[in-house]
Homo-oligomer: A and B are copies of this chain.
Amino acid sequence: MPSGGAEGRAEVIATLSRLAHEQVVSSTTRDLLDAAEPLCDRLPADSDDAALIRVTRRDVDRARKLPADFVAERARAASQSIQVWREARPRNDFATFRPYLERMVEFARRTADYLGYTEHPYDALLDGYEPEMTSREVAALFAQLRDGTVPLLRAVVARASAVDAGVLRQEYAEEPVRRFALAIVRAFGYDLDRGRLDTSAHPFSTGFNRNDVRITTRYGRQSLGALFGAFHEAGHAMYSQGSAPSLERTPLAGGASNGIHESQSRLWENLVGRSRAFWQHAFPALQQHFPTQLRATDAEAFYRAVNRVEPSLIRVEADEVTYNLHIILRFELEQGLVAGAIAPQNLPEIWNAKMTEYLGVTPPADTDGVMQDIHWSGGLIGYFPSYTIGNVVSVQFFEAARRAHPDLVDRIRRGEFATLLGWLREHVHTHGRKFFPRDLLERATGTPLTPVPYLDYLRAKYHEIYGIQSRAG
């Protein structure tokens, strides 16, 4: 968008937000729901119709708590604030951004007040991204993760020289990277008759309906990062493409939560795309695309390179071990902001202190510190936990699929991804938003949300890569 268009777009988004809100809270919707609800008792709880009534009621109840003017005003402020962030971030200009951030934090607090909560205002926000989850649960999960991750990271950093990622720091032309990424996501099962792969400043996926779900990635001159961006976004897109046709154009189309969505992207990016089995299959083809750069490398060395762990400043570039520490930091800051315990003006200082404490790196500038993510600028507060929940759940799903198909990893090693996708389609994708994340997870895996499989996965993988002696307990 040309820079001049920001203000006009803010007005349009405010108007559309208001109109959409008005439809949801209208008396027509309410009357229809009131008439339908008594039928619920006669329907199986997992039927489409029962879920439609249940989920719509929840959406409507939530929306009715927010005045239409407030929704429009918040949307307009978010558009403006995002635009200011876009311009201020490259100039490392937190001072200009600060009043807009303060305003978005204030909107988040007012949102929580309108929505109501019993324990912490953060609960009201979190519930918008992770239905029926509380910050108490998140905090408990994150504490376990942190306690499991910090010693692992320390052990890995002590043996940093065990992995050489030099092979990745060469010149990789964009076009062959794109062709290879496209071939892989197609092999995963991303349907290109109902999708496409484009280039953008930051990778994303966006969908209009299950038959039009598009992804982007970004290309760096000295990076194969575009591959993992494409795998990640294809994971999101396959989830959307797999939503049952019967749910189209209803509130049930889409994904169960941001965390469940992220579980799909991380599963394909990491549990498949950064696995040894996958690169045993895919490396020869990549080598054909880059015979010069990859002449002296083999699948095993490449596997190790793409799994190099290194504490760094930027969340979206973080490896599997350090990623959740970035999220835990944001979760703690968000809770403080919403509760009023942290003032936005103190954020840069607190951010940098926590980065030093958790990751041992200190941002030299807010550009790569507190201003690195777009989320807060648009008022997305309460969203970050979903990323880590996604990591945790991705392993729970993968392990459940492997219990159903014990040869799953061998199949991946043969370039056969249909078994995995089929399991995900049946147990996750097809249900759209029908079930709360908690229920979906239980139905699919038989267990509630737990960090244990994720921590086991991390330890097994990185102990082996870095040659760390596992200790009992």
Q: A195-B2, A196-B2 are in contact. Are A211 and B8 (CB under 8 A)?
A: yes
Q: Which residues of B contact A19 (CB under 8 A)?
A: 19
A212 pairs with B9, CB closer than 8 A = yes
Min Cβ gap A12→B in Å is 7
Any B CB within 8 A of the CB of A266: no
A3 pairs with B249, CB closer than 8 A = no
Min Cβ gap A13→B in Å is 11
B249 pairs with A4, CB closer than 8 A = no
Give which listed residue, B7, B11, B193, contacts A3 with CB less than 8 A.
B193
Contact size range, A:
20 to 34
Min Cβ gap A235→B in Å is 18
Any B CB within 8 A of the CB of A298: no
A3 to B193, CA, bound (A): 6
Any B CB within 8 A of the CB of A191: yes
A249 to B76, CA, bound (A): 15
Min Cβ gap A466→B in Å is 42
Min Cβ gap A49→B in Å is 21
Any B CB within 8 A of the CB of A1: yes
A192 to B1, CA, bound (A): 11
A5 pairs with B209, CB closer than 8 A = yes
A212 pairs with B2, CB closer than 8 A = yes
Min Cβ gap A473→B in Å is 51
A194-212 CB contact bits vs B (8 Å, 1 = yes)? 1110000000000011111
Q: Which residues of B contact A5 (CB under 8 A)?
A: 194, 208-209, 211-212
Any B CB within 8 A of the CB of A248: yes
Any B CB within 8 A of the CB of A214: yes
A377 to B239, CA, bound (A): 34
Q: Which of A1-42 contact B (CB under 8 A)?
A: 1-5, 7-9, 11-12, 19
CB closest residue in chain B, given A193: B4
CB closest residue in chain B, given A212: B5
Q: Which residues of B contact A248 (CB under 8 A)?
A: 8
Q: Which residues of B contact A1 (CB under 8 A)?
A: 212
Q: Which residues of B contact A193 (CB under 8 A)?
A: 2-4
A212 to B4, CA, bound (A): 6
Q: Which residues of B contact A214 (CB under 8 A)?
A: 2
A340 to B322, CA, bound (A): 71
Q: Which residues of B contact A9 (CB under 8 A)?
A: 208-209, 212
CB closest residue in chain B, given A12: B208
Min Cβ gap A328→B in Å is 38
Q: Which residues of B contact A249 (CB under 8 A)?
A: 11
Q: Which residues of B contact A208 (CB under 8 A)?
A: 5, 8-9, 12
- Apart from the given pairs A5-B211, A5-B212, 8 other A-B contacts in the complex at a CB distance below 8 Å: A1-B212, A2-B214, A4-B191, A4-B195, A4-B211, A8-B210, A8-B212, A12-B208
- The 8 A-B pairs at the shortest CB distance, nearest first, are namely A5-B212, A8-B209, A4-B194, A4-B211, A4-B193, A2-B196, A5-B211, A2-B194
A selection of 30 A-B contacts at a CB cut-off of 8 Å is A1-B212, A2-B193, A2-B194, A2-B195, A2-B196, A2-B211, A2-B212, A3-B193, A4-B191, A4-B194, A4-B195, A4-B211, A4-B212, A5-B194, A5-B208, A5-B209, A5-B211, A5-B212, A8-B209, A8-B210, A8-B211, A8-B248, A9-B208, A9-B209, A9-B212, A11-B209, A11-B249, A12-B208, A12-B209, A19-B19
